[in-house]
Amino acid sequence: PQAPQQYKQLLMVSGIDKYFQIAPCFRDEDARADRSPGEFYQLDFEMSFATQEDVFRVGEEVLTAAFEKFSPEGSQVTAAPYPVYSYRQAMLEFGTDKPDLRNPLRIIDLTDFFQRCTFKPFHKKTVRAIKVHADMSKGFHEKLLHFATSIGMGGLGYLEIMEDMGYKGPIDKFIPEDMKGEIAEKAGLVPGDTIFFIADKEKRAADFAGQIRNELGERLELCEKNSYRFCFVNDFPMYEYNEQEKRMDFTHNPFSMPQGGLEALESKAPEEVLAYQYDIVCNGVELSSGAVRNHDLDIMVKAFAIAGYTEEDLKEKFGALYNAFQFGAPPHAGMAPGVDRMIMLLSGEENIREVIPFPMNGNAQDLMCGAPCEVTETQLRETHIKIRQ
């Protein structure tokens, strides 16, 4: 396992109702700017008879105190309680489940509106829009269009709002006169605004809109400086369809409690089932994942069955947890903020390797020690490994 989750769940079952540890863990995922291969550390905790909100209160108390103490002088830190966004709301407003709240721009949905307009490229597509109040030159628009095409967009439509609330832009002629007031009301438009439009399949539209939002925030220097803006993202989907394997799969943590319990698993389509899962996000970086855990054996068996696992698979792969749940388990929940990521944010670094002594590279290689490297036949025998040609 990457983290001691199953172990701390067993502690809850055994009667230890609160657990805390600065836990060493092992990353078995691909490397990226906020994720270093190999060992990392978590501020890990778990509580029995705890709700999602109980975990939120503990997590935000610790993180706010830590960031207020160790952040650079003059920094602003979100005070508890943190804002909470559902996964669906975050994907709509920010185009990502890791929103950077230092950026004041928000994304709105105009899909229904444009289905009633005559602009055919937007028909039968999800349409997202971003309103900006700033002076933008022709050169700015050209650079933003170049960025849009570089990330895979076919173009970037926009409208400029004139002093008389008239519109200027390539899409204006496709909006009927009697609907122009409607878009102004929906988007909260005022003279001097520019509104950008992104249209594609829902998932791609959200992703593109999120990247355009970030680019606008950076290019126009709209993002708040010297601040640490926290939020929770919750209500993640329990399942997603795995296109490669042509089956349902767990979206995140398979040991989370589905909202609605066994009844939801039996009566809803898998894609409609939400989980009691949540993340803490700071400045666009996921600091922690957590969940209200599944503590009921029948629910666990059904949840895994939807993802293609038999009860025998559960016994074989997760035997300790399967056996423990037969004796009854208390409701329990927890989370584990990443210590390395906290230090990365506090030190103002954009790559986690900058705060790890002797980090591995993106290919999980230790360049100082030259590892991994070829091993001798003797070393293979010592570890009882045989290589087959």
Residue 284: partners with Cβ closer than 8 Å, 6 or more residues away: 96, 98, 99, 100, 214
Domain with CATH 3.30.1360.30 in the chain: 103-223
Concatenating the DSSP letter of every residue in 307-333 gives TT--HHHHHHHSHHHHHHHTT----EE
Q: Please report the pLDDT score of residue 2 as a whole number.
A: 62
The end-to-end CA distance of the chain, in Å, is 29
Predicted structure pTM score: 0.91
Contact assessment for residue 37 and residue 27, using Cβ atoms and an 8 Å cutoff: yes
Going by CATH, does the domain composed of 4-88+228-355 fall within 2.40.10.10?
Answer: no
β pairing state of 84-86 and 230-234: parallel
Q: Please report the pLDDT score of residue 25 as a whole number.
A: 86
Half-sphere exposure of 358 (CA within 13 A, CB side): 7
Rounded average pLDDT per 10-residue block, the chain, 389 residues: 82 95 81 75 95 97 97 96 98 97 98 94 96 94 96 94 93 92 95 96 97 97 97 97 91 94 96 97 95 96 96 94 93 95 95 89 86 90 89
Going by CATH, does the domain composed of 103-223 fall within 3.30.1360.30?
Answer: yes
* Distance (Å, whole) CA 74 – CA 84: 25
Domain with CATH 3.30.930.10 in the chain: 4-88+228-355
Q: Please report the pLDDT score of residue 205 as a whole number.
A: 97
